[in-house]
Amino acid sequence: MSSDVKAAVPGTPGWAAEPAGGGFTTDAGWLDFHGAPVKPSYVPPPGAVDAHCHVFGPGAEFSYAPERKYTPCDAGKAKLRALRDYLGFSRNVVVQATCHGADNRAMVDAVSSSNGLARGVATVRRSVTDAELAAMDAAGVRGVRFNFVKRLVDTTPRDELVEIATRVAKLGWHVVIYFEAAELPELYDFIASLPATVVVDHMGRPDVTKPVDNPEFALFEKLMADNPQVWSKVTCPDRLSASGPPHYDDFVPFARRLVERFPDRVLWGTDWPHPNLKTHMPDDGALVNIIPRIAPTAELQQRLLVDNPMRLYWPEECCSKD
């Protein structure tokens, strides 16, 4: 049982991040998650889902991968749940962190011990067995993540990714893809051809210092418009914004464009505990307060935070969409 089973409320002394345990050493200069997030003034609708977050270790229980590109602070499942409750959310989607490689134990533990209030997105290799996929499915995993960001992972051959996508599609899983905007022209046909629902992380990381109608973002909108199986997460202003916290004004038009144009294929999440940030650590409460600016009506907020993630991750609990 991990040491953070009874995590403190965010902002209290016991909430602070702890260094990596289990003989691991957190990277020098690592930015820990925010120690005292504000209580959001925006109240999410009942049943709201934080559809993009992670767990790190704890290292004493779940080792960090030998091939990892970074070693984080520990940030386990109990702190994730404490933050969920503090921010006014009901459920989480836990995405496998690259520091754990294809060892999904920490993520699966967070999901399987959640009383049905979390789902997972795994990282797998071609060598994964059908029995292992079935076990993850039973635990609550509903997708796999393909990462094309070279500073975070080594490249996986595309034929292997297609094989994995084909196998998990039979389970009803989707594929999450993380890439930089400059890589989209090369990846466009590959993404469009995948035999499963595709969810793109962080809007494909657009350059938000440009006008929202710039050609790079227009290509991403075209990807979504021409491929109804492609969704997007309108997430991570802290990674994309040049104008910075707490309002991230340059991020807002891009996220709002996708929410209003594709209201049934967008998701939102905190990205807690915010791996690999270099300039600042966002206040998670302030991130929640941005939601009404990117989804300006109650109907759009309901779709973004409840209806869409429920349809993708808990279809057995929600009605089919008419």
Active site residues: 271
* Cis geometry, peptide bond prior to residue 246 (ω within 30 degrees of 0): yes
Q: Report the candidate in 123, 102, 105 with the shortest Cα–Cα distance to residue 175.
A: 123
Rounded to whole angstroms, how far apart are CA atoms 3 and 181?
Answer: 39
Burial class (CB in 10 A: 0-12, 13-18, 19+), 122: buried
With beta carbons less than 8 A apart as the criterion, state whether 271 and 14 touch: no
Tokens 């400059």 -> residue:
182
Put residue 18 in one of left, alpha, beta given phi > 0 → left and psi -120 to 50 → alpha. Answer: beta
Q: How many CB atoms lie within 10 A of CB 267?
A: 25
Structure-block tokens of residue 103: 């060892």
Tokens 């989209």 -> residue:
184
Rounded to whole angstroms, how far apart are CA atoms 264 and 287?
Answer: 21
Structure-block tokens of residue 299: 């109907």
SS3 83: helix
Q: Report the candidate in 51, 117, 45, 134 with the shortest Cα–Cα distance to residue 312.
A: 51
CA–centroid distance for 178 within its chain: 10
SS3 28: coil
Rounded to whole angstroms, how far apart are CA atoms 50 and 275?
Answer: 16
